[in-house]
Amino acid sequence: MEGAEQLCEAAKSGDVGRLNCLISAGADVSHFDADGLTPLMHAAKSGRADAVKALLEAGAPWNALSPSNLSAGDFAMESGHQEAFELLLNAGIQAELILGTIARKSKAGDSHGDYLDDRVNFSEDKLMDSSSKAVMMAWEKPLMEAHGKAVCSQGGHILNIGFGMGLVDTAIQQYAPATHTIVEAHPDVFKRMLGTGWGDKDNVRIIFGRWQDVLSQLGSYDGIFFDTYGEYYEDMREFHQHLPVLLKPGGIYSFFNGLCGDNAFFHIVYCHLVSLELENLGYSTQLIPLPVKACLGEEVWEGVKQKYWQLDTYYLPVCQTKQDEE
C-alpha cells in the first residue's frame, strides 16, 4: 500500500502517530483515493478530530471537493461530528481571511465583468443574462419580502442597491418609507424600471450607475439592502466600508446572502466570515434561517444554465451597530 493510501487508512482510524510518521515521510496530504476522497475527508467523516487537526497543520486542503461536491466540512456536518466540524470551520475562515480562494475576485479577472454591457431578458419568473444565467428569479420573492420587512423596521429613509426584478423594492414600498432610493447599474433594467412606473412614485428616487460611482449622490439611511449581480465578495466587502457613513445609528442593513450557495459548508464559512468582518466595523449580525427547499423544484431551474442556490435553508442577515442592539 502506497504512503498516500496508508494516510487515508490512518485518517479513518484516527491513528495520529501513524499519520504523523507518514506525513514526515512525505505522504501526500492532498491525495484523492479511488473513491475521490482525501485523507482529511476520511478523518472528518469518521469524526477523528485529532487526525483532522494533524492533517490541517500539515497543509491538507480544507476546501477540496469529492465527486459529489462535498468537502471535509460537509462530511463532518452530515455525520454530526461537531469537534471535527469546528476545526474545519475555523480553518476555512482563517484561510479565506488571508487568501479568499472561494468567493472573492481573482486577479485573473471578473467572469461577470461584461454584465453591464450584456443584454438581459425579462420573463414572468426570471431575469436572465445572454448566456442563460439567472440574475434574479421569482422563487426569491419570499426572501425579498423578509429582507424588505427587516430594512424597513425602523421606518424612515431606505436605500436599495440593485433593482433586478424589483422584488425587494416592491416589498419596501408596502411599508411606505419616507424616501426610497434605488441604485441600478444595468441600462436594460433601468429602462424597464422607468417603463413600469417606478420613476413616477412620489417617494422613489432612482440613481442610474454603479454604486461605486454614485456614492457622492447618496445620503444616510435608516435601512439599506445590497444585492448586485456581476460582482464578488470583495465588492460587497468594499461596500461595507461605507456603512458607517451610509447607515444611520440604529439603522438596519441586510444583503442577499447567496455566498457559495451551491455548497453547505462553504456557505457557513462565508456566513461566519462576513459576520466577523462586519463585527470589526462595529456591526452585529443575526442570521435568520428561512426554509427554501419547497420553493426549489427542478422545474424552477428549467432553462437556467446554472443553479446559483442549492441549499435547503437561507440565512437572512440582519445587521445593526452593536451598541444599538444592546
Asked whether residue 35 falls in the same domain as residue 161, the answer is no
Listing DSSP states for 106-133 in one string gives BTTB-TTTTGGGS-EEE-SSEEEETTS-
Query: Tens digits of per-residue pLDDT, 292-320?
Result: 998 888 899 999 998 999 999 999 999 99
Nearest to residue 85, comparing CAs of 48, 37, 55? 48
Query: Tens digits of per-residue pLDDT, 170-196?
Result: 999 999 999 999 999 999 999 999 999
Q: pTM of the entire structure? A: 0.90
**So what's the pLDDT on residue 111?**
45
Residue 119 lies in a domain: no
Query: Tens digits of per-residue pLDDT, 208-224?
Result: 999 999 999 999 999 99
Asked whether residue 168 falls in the same domain as residue 287, the answer is yes
Asked whether residue 37 falls in the same domain as residue 182, the answer is no
Is the pLDDT reported for residue 286 higher than 80? yes
Query: Tens digits of per-residue pLDDT, 141-158?
Result: 999 999 999 999 999 999
Report the alpha-carbon distance of residue 62 to residue 52 in Å, rounded: 10
Mean pLDDT for 234-248 is 95
Residue 116 lies in a domain: no
Residue 255 contacts by C-beta under 8 Å, 6 or more apart in sequence? 225, 226, 227, 236, 317
Residue 108 lies in a domain: no
Provide the pLDDT confidence category of residue 110 given band limits of 50, 70 and 90.
very low
Tell me which amino acid residue 83 is. Answer: E
Asked whether residue 173 falls in the same domain as residue 296, the answer is yes
Residue 126 lies in a domain: no
Is the pLDDT reported for residue 101 higher than 80? no
**So what's the pLDDT on residue 3?**
82
Mean pLDDT for 72-96 is 95
Provide the pLDDT confidence category of residue 324 given band limits of 50, 70 and 90.
low
What CATH number is associated with residue 316? 3.40.50.150
Higher pLDDT, 106 or 247: 247
The residue segments making up the domain with residue 90 are 3-98
Please give the helix or strand (H or E) that residue 291 lies within, else none. Answer: strand 283-291
- State the chain's mean pLDDT as an integer: 92
**So what's the pLDDT on residue 323?**
66
Residue 123 lies in a domain: no
C-alpha Rg value of the chain to the nearest Å: 22
Higher pLDDT, 107 or 117: 117
3 state SS of 317 = strand
Listing DSSP states for 134-195 in one string gives EEEEGGGHHHHHHHHHHHTTT-SEEEEE--TTSHHHHHHHTT--SEEEEEE--HHHHHHHHH
Phi then psi for 311, rounded to 5 degrees? -105, 155
DSSP 304: -
Cell of 141: 420573492
Residue 204 lies in a domain: yes
Is the pLDDT reported for residue 10 higher than 60? yes
Report the alpha-carbon distance of residue 123 to residue 126 in Å, rounded: 5
Asked whether residue 39 falls in the same domain as residue 177, the answer is no
Tell me which amino acid residue 143 is. Answer: L
Asked whether residue 273 falls in the same domain as residue 185, the answer is yes
Asked whether residue 181 falls in the same domain as residue 260, the answer is yes
**So what's the pLDDT on residue 159?**
98
**So what's the pLDDT on residue 113?**
52
Asked whether residue 72 falls in the same domain as residue 159, the answer is no
Asked whether residue 9 falls in the same domain as residue 62, the answer is yes
Asked whether residue 173 falls in the same domain as residue 90, the answer is no
Listing DSSP states for 219-262 in one string gives --EEEEEE--SS--HHHHHHHHTTHHHHEEEEEEEEE---TTTT
pLDDT-above-70 percentage for the chain: 94
Asked whether residue 177 falls in the same domain as residue 286, the answer is yes
Asked whether residue 157 falls in the same domain as residue 279, the answer is yes
Tell me which amino acid residue 138 is. Answer: A
Residue 107 lies in a domain: no
Number of domains in the chain: 2
Query: Tens digits of per-residue pLDDT, 268-280?
Result: 999 999 999 999 9
**So what's the pLDDT on residue 47?**
97
Residue 120 lies in a domain: no
Least confident of 88-92, 98-102, 169-173: 98-102
Nearest to residue 70, comparing CAs of 267, 258, 313? 267
Query: Tens digits of per-residue pLDDT, 51-74?
Result: 999 999 999 999 999 999 999 999
**So what's the pLDDT on residue 230?**
78
Q: How far is CA 317 from CA 25, 182, 305, in A?
A: 46, 20, 27
**So what's the pLDDT on residue 145?**
98
Is the pLDDT reported for residue 35 higher than 80? yes
What CATH number is associated with residue 72? 1.25.40.20
